[in-house]
């Protein structure tokens, strides 16, 4: 599965999680054992320096969880190096408001052989990008994550697939370390919580999620400012590119789709990363069960984002086309023309 496909899954509505009381086979992984928390605390208390990583092209949950724990470790007197393994190391524009960016170092300054490393929200070793070698060379690797598919690539797993976000586990780790929530830590955790619950809209939004949000908001953080940074801003050029994409949107037999070329983006100087949100506008369409947006990247390949309202498994469609994802949110890469790409998509959709 390509990183882009995983990004599709993480950006979109998650399917409803099974109840954690279901302890039969095939259910979510059970909550983290006390013995594992204890071992994590022992490893951390014995360390002078802790190296933190999250997945490449981090979202609010990955970066927010990592920075929140980074703050807590620093206040315990640990040296902290935090990073993510992108080739072009830069914090995504939407996340530059997060406090704690001084904890970040580019991958080339990350400890080559960390004695203790902690990874956040990365479901696979692959998703650590340039930091894979550092991870492989680390003596101990604690994996903090909530993806049910997590490979458990570390020496210790703190994985709970019933958690709505990795930030939920990060908060627990901070408490167990004897840390307290301040406004900076809470801002980072809140960014994770709202990102992964889609602003408390997804089915993962449990009473526990709102209780955690209440603890975070009680520190005095600005929910309005965080919401604007994460969801409600874009450069003017985005509106122009969006207008072009909406101008040519098509509705055919329950399928709504459009495309954005690199020429469209170049005309307004809009980077590829800024067109991710177009699918969220297109998928609103009442008359369509499935939404597709083809986004041409800087290399000329089409990154295909797909969404379903539930009746169709777009994950299966995208797997058949070489990609992957979830039932309601998936993606793949196409090197064909727009017409050929859509013809192949329709063909697979017909089988689903
Ligand atoms: Mn997450």
Centre of ligand 1 to C-alpha 123, Å, is 9
- Strand partners of residue 252: 255
pLDDT at 6 over 80: no
The pTM of the full predicted model, rounded to 2 decimals, is 0.81
Residues 6+ positions from 239 with CB-CB distance below 8 Å: none
Superfamily of domain 31-231: inorganic pyrophosphatase (n-terminal core) (3.90.1640.10)
pLDDT at 10 over 50: no
Centre of ligand 1 to C-alpha 146, Å, is 6
Average pLDDT over residues 85-92: 93
Number of H helices, E strands in the chain: 13, 11
pLDDT at 9 over 50: no
Q: Supply the pLDDT for residue 43.
A: 98
Please give the residue that has the higher pLDDT: either 116 or 352.
Answer: 116
Average pLDDT over residues 314-323: 91
- Per-residue three-class SS string for 129-195: HHHHHHHHHCCEEEEEECCCCCCCCCCEEEECCCCCCHHHHHHHHHHHCCCCCCHHHHHHHHHHHHH
Q: Supply the pLDDT for residue 18.
A: 33
Please give the residue that has the higher pLDDT: either 20 or 60.
Answer: 60
pLDDT band of residue 247 (cuts 50, 70, 90) is: very high
Residue 31, φ and ψ in degrees, nearest 5 = -60, 165
Q: Rounded to the nearest 5 degrees, what angle is found at the Cα of 209, between the Cα atoms of 206 and 214? A: 130
Task: For 277-288, write each residue's pLDDT tens digit.
Answer: 899 999 999 999
Separation CA 83–CA 26 (nearest Å): 34
Centre of ligand 1 to C-alpha 124, Å, is 13
Q: Supply the pLDDT for residue 323.
A: 84
Separation CA 319–CA 232 (nearest Å): 32
Q: Which CATH class is domain 236-351?
A: alpha beta
Highest mean pLDDT out of 2-16, 156-170, 313-327: 156-170
Instruction: Identify whether the C-beta of residue 3 lies closer than 8 Å to the C-beta of residue 57.
Output: yes
pLDDT at 116 over 70: yes
% of residues, the chain, pLDDT over 90: 79
Read off the DSSP letter of residue 81. E
pLDDT band of residue 321 (cuts 50, 70, 90) is: very high
Centre of ligand 1 to C-alpha 350, Å, is 32
Separation CA 130–CA 149 (nearest Å): 21
- Per-residue three-class SS string for 233-293: CCCHHHHHHHHHHHHCCEEECCEEEEEECHHHHHHHCCCHHHHCCHHHHHCCCCCCCEEEE
Q: Supply the pLDDT for residue 30.
A: 56
Q: Where are the domains of the chain?
A: 31-231, 236-351
Q: Residue 82, by phi and psi: left (phi above 0), alpha (psi -120 to 50) or beta?
A: beta
Centre of ligand 1 to C-alpha 66, Å, is 11
pLDDT at 21 over 60: no
Cα 97 versus chain centre, distance? 17
The H or E element spanning position 309 is none
Centre of ligand 1 to C-alpha 93, Å, is 18
Centre of ligand 1 to C-alpha 160, Å, is 11
Average pLDDT over residues 89-108: 96
pLDDT band of residue 185 (cuts 50, 70, 90) is: very high
Q: What average pLDDT is seen over the chain?
A: 90
Centre of ligand 1 to C-alpha 343, Å, is 33
Q: Supply the pLDDT for residue 15.
A: 35
In angstroms, the Cα distances linking 264 to 12, 92, 251, 306, 337 are 24, 21, 21, 20, 16
Instruction: Identify whether the C-beta of residue 305 lies closer than 8 Å to the C-beta of residue 331.
Output: yes
Least confident of 26-30, 147-151, 154-158, 312-316: 26-30
Centre of ligand 1 to C-alpha 287, Å, is 31
pLDDT at 273 over 90: no
Q: Which of 191, 194, 189, 265 is nearest to 234 (CA)?
A: 265
pLDDT band of residue 209 (cuts 50, 70, 90) is: very high
Average pLDDT over residues 11-38: 54
Centre of ligand 1 to C-alpha 289, Å, is 26
Q: Supply the pLDDT for residue 24.
A: 34
Centre of ligand 1 to C-alpha 273, Å, is 19
Task: For 192-202, write each residue's pLDDT tens digit.
Answer: 999 999 899 88
Centre of ligand 1 to C-alpha 340, Å, is 34
Average pLDDT over residues 57-85: 97
């Amino acid at each position: 599965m390509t990183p882009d496909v995983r990004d599709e899954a993480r950006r979109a509505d998650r399917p409803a999680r099974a109840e954690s009381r279901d302890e039969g086979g095939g259910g979510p992984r059970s909550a983290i054992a006390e013995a594992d928390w204890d071992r994590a605390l022992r490893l951390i208390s014995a360390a002078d320096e802790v190296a933190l990583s999250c997945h490449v092209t981090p979202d609010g949950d990955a970066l927010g969880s990592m920075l929140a724990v980074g703050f807590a470790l620093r206040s315990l007197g640990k040296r902290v190096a935090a990073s993510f393994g992108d080739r072009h190391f830069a914090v995504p524009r939407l996340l530059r408001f997060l406090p704690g960016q001084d904890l970040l170092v580019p991958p080339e300054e990350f400890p080559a052989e960390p004695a203790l490393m902690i990874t956040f929200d990365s479901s696979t070793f692959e998703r650590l990008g340039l930091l894979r070698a550092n991870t492989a060379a680390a003596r101990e690797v604690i994996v903090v994550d909530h993806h049910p598919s997590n490979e458990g690539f570390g020496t210790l797993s703190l994985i709970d697939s019933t958690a709505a976000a990795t930030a939920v586990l990060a908060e627990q780790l901070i408490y167990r370390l004897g840390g307290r929530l301040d406004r900076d830590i809470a801002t980072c955790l809140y960014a994770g919580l709202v990102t992964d619950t889609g602003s408390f809209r997804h089915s993962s939004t449990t009473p526990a999620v709102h209780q955690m949000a209440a603890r975070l908001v009680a520190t005095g953080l600005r929910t309005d400012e965080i919401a604007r940074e994460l969801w409600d801003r874009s450069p003017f050029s985005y509106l122009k590119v969006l207008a072009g994409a909406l101008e040519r949107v098509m509705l055919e037999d329950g399928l709504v789709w459009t495309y954005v070329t690199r020429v469209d983006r170049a005309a307004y100087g809009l980077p590829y990363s800024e067109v991710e949100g177009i699918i969220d506008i297109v998928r609103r369409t009442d008359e369509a069960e499935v939404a597709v947006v083809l986004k041409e990247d800087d290399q000329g390949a089409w990154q295909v984002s797909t969404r379903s309202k539930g009746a169709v498994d777009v994950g299966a469609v995208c797997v058949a086309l070489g990609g992957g994802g979830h039932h309601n949110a998936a993606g793949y890469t196409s090197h064909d023309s727009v017409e050929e790409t859509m013809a192949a998509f329709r063909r697979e959709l017909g089988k689903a």
